[in-house]
Amino acid sequence: MFLSLSVICLTVAVLLAQVNKLTAEPIAVAKAMKLQNAIGDVVPEFDNNPIDEAYLMPDGRGDSLLVYPAKKGDEIVGFAINSSAAGFGGDFQIMVGFDVNDKVVNYAILQHAETPGLGSKMDVWFKDTTKPSQSIIDRDLAEGLLTVKNDGGTIDAITASTITSRAFLDAVNKAYSAYAQSNSDANTGATEGEWDENTGTTEPETSDKNIITEKDELTEEEISNE
């Protein structure tokens, strides 16, 4: 019996390993495409590859968010920010897009576990421009961060989903903090670093920006995590 169970377990393990190997590449491609599409949905038209130029920027709360700069030629036209928050059903992840004038262009939900028919409505609720009191599209966050009316703000919460609504707006506000620093660096002409002739090295920029490289395997995995 012991020998039979051992053979069965070994066979199943080998089969699972082979299935994982066969599906790993298609899954990675699908995740990369989903990320690329989300960026394209939330920022003005661009012709660069924001994923290749992604970097980390502090969110003002002791954490960092991934920032994807969108460019038209050599000019920055917007930023897509990967943000998250703890909703009613658990953590969710969103992509928030800003132009260069502090305004929200659009957003996309990357993953969530909110209640169907309630919290899940955040996918469309906050982008319904026919209802200005609930839409965040074209909101100028330089005039103030976003809060629901229950907390003294100007945004209508999703019906029967105040917790989700608070969490969603919190994720947008965190994204704006990272955006504001990125946009400031872009406007002041900040670079990744300056060459120091004395040391023969590139001195790091004073900005908190951290460029993502191909070696950041954990970060790349987090980018595509569903």
- For the residues of 111-131, what is the DSSP string, one character each? E--PPTTTGGGHHHHTT-TT-
pLDDT at 144 over 70: yes
Q: What are the tens digits of pLDDT across the range 63-120? A: 899 999 999 998 999 999 999 999 999 999 999 999 999 999 999 999 999 999 999 9
Q: CB-based contacts of 170: which residues, under 8 Å, 6+ apart? A: 85
Q: What are the tens digits of pLDDT across the range 188-210? A: 765 443 333 333 333 444 445 55
pLDDT at 34 over 90: no
Establish if 16 belongs to a structural domain. Answer: no
pLDDT cut 90: percent of the chain above it: 61
Supply the range of the domain harboring residue 159.
39-223
Residue 209: CA atoms inside 13 Å, Cβ hemisphere, count? 23
pLDDT at 136 over 90: yes
pLDDT for position 62: 87
Establish if 80 belongs to a structural domain. Answer: yes
- What's the mean pLDDT when you consider all of the chain? 83
Q: Report yes or no on whether pTM surpasses 0.85.
A: no
Establish if 22 belongs to a structural domain. Answer: no
Number of domains in the chain: 1
CB atoms under 10 Å from CB of 58, counted, come to: 17
Establish if 187 belongs to a structural domain. Answer: yes
Q: Which two tokens stand for residue 94?
A: 């969103």
| 137-140: long-range pairs with CB below 8 Å, 24+ | 137/104, 137/105, 137/106, 138/103, 138/104, 138/105, 139/103, 139/104, 140/101, 140/102, 140/103
Establish if 147 belongs to a structural domain. Answer: yes
CA-based nearest residue to 69, from 165, 212, 194: 212
CA-based nearest residue to 167, from 216, 126, 224: 126
Establish if 7 belongs to a structural domain. Answer: no
Establish if 63 belongs to a structural domain. Answer: yes
Backbone phi and psi for residue 107, each to the nearest 5 degrees, phi listed first: -145, 160
